[in-house]
Structure 1
Amino acid sequence: MVLLSVRDLRVEFATSGGVVTAVDGASFDVGAGETVALLGESGSGKSVTAQAILGIVPKPAGRVTGGSISYDGRDLLTAAKGLRGREIAMVFQDPLSSLNPVFRVGAQIGEMFRRHRGASRREARAAALDLMKRVGIPAASKRLDDYPHQFSGGMRQRVMIAMALALSPRLLIADEPTTALDVTVQAQIMDLLTRLQAEEGMSLVLITHDLGVVAGVADRVILMYAGRVVETGSLREVYEHSGHPYTSGLMASVPALDGPRDRLVPIQGAPPDLLALPSGCSFRPRCQYADEQCAEAEPVLRQLPDRPSTHQAACHHPEGVLTDVH
């Protein structure tokens, strides 16, 4: 069952230099109970896609200019705001800036129950305590009255997850939930998210630039570059048989613990200026396979040679990528 369906999504921002198309025709689905990872470098359109789903694209500069977003058969672009937050929740990248510094943590979590379920102060406090225990905050009863600055980065992220789960959403979007956390805490947060997903039976969308973070978690992955989806498939399909040069470049830049410990292999060049995208394939200036065809025509998503129909890439020369990498 498809819970979330994004089709030909287009999001633009008006800037002093002109109109920037931050998301350009992105399409993907998220099934009920499924974990989908949105991957890509900074500026690829991942977070803006999530903002469009949540209806929080910054205005007046930003606006959805095309496409559709449906949730459980309902049009999210016209749906009442109550649907978001109640059934779709989000964990933001920086919990310190998301939490109010002048209110106690327990009160901030409890506010969700008071505002949306009409709970009394005592009921909201009890519910907040239960959630803090569920997300693994030690001595939760003593920490209800602490302020955000009194928590470590990992504990603040747990607080944000508790707030997101307060109304038992069916879809949780986590935007770079482990950024700036050390490796051990990253693993703990990812274990927490997967455990809570199993308990709640919810769908999970993980937004990250770190392929290693989602390696043992995601069911499917979606690679974005310059606002476009460039490869999609199951975790195993994409990680073992990446068919786009951008994906293979990202894979090569991740250090392997069981491989030679030489220098990292970065992708040459830098992401393009969205105000001056190259003609044809936007990845062309950084691609070793680029030719005249790549300059003349923008590639579309298509099934990779000898791969399942679910594994697709937007590349004119996927055969070369598959042969060289694998």
Structure 2
Amino acid sequence: MDETRVAASYVQLLFEHMAALGRADALGPPPAPSETFVALKRWQALLAQARDLDPGPKATFALRLARGIAPRHFGVVGFAALACNTLAQALQRLERYHRSVYDVNIVQVRSSADGLSIEWGVERGRPGALVDETAIAALVQLARAFTGEAVRARAVDFVNPRPADLRPYEDFFGGTVRFGQPVTRVVLATRDLALPMRGADPALLALLDAQAEALLQSVAAVSGPVAVWRQALVGLIRSGRTQLADLAQALQMSPRSLQRRLAEHGHSFQTLLGQTRQQLAEAYLRDGSVELAEVALLLGYSEQSAFTRAFRQWTGQAPLQWRRQQAS
């Protein structure tokens, strides 16, 4: 599990929780704006430290922490999910791009007559009760935030040992909760999957699709495999997957092979990523209806400040300055 990680935007949830307790500096500095991910080991240590500092019952710390979850903590994936029409569509996006938020164990989603089952095995190890309980509680709480409804889980399973008192878990999730199970699992009812999203924005989704399509058209003039790589990278950027390994997986290549091929064509991954991000950024900025914070999320940045610094390096101007210049 040494290589597993979670999104820096997700880790911000913990620092916000501690700030609400008046202990904003107790955990040390939060992830830097330039950090996209945080190693799982660091996340485990931060959770344990915060649990010990929290004045509430230690056994239910993860449940209290999860109550503060918001779409922004899931980065661009949460933003895109929020614009969907129904909870089912939002969960599909979270499933497809979950590795950009929570890269611990592989997720499997199964439909049945009873509802939708979302499962995580233990192929890559057991991250522990704090990590698992925070993740599952955050997912259910996010469904509530998405819909504005008190979504109840039909069933929740954890691989970790049973705590002394199940009642707080049953109260939080609203259904049967079991421990010591083969997989971590949450089951949502079919009727809840049809719940409309509070932030449904078909126009925004259409805009994102149109902008991405426009970029694909613009890069079509690039010859050879570079065009293929850049086109694949567009979709990855929109889902917050901006690592070399993500592109290699999309192209069904090993990261080492991709690096070698890029070098053969006079590119590095960071150069290709930067050029593609710049083209996307300029396309979004030309549309005044897209806020700067939204542009940052759509480009896979966890913080607007990181996007601003990158854009200055590309163009010598701040995004707002560039947008105003183009408009004039």
TM-score by length of structure 1 reads 0.27
By percentage of residues, which structure has more helix? 2
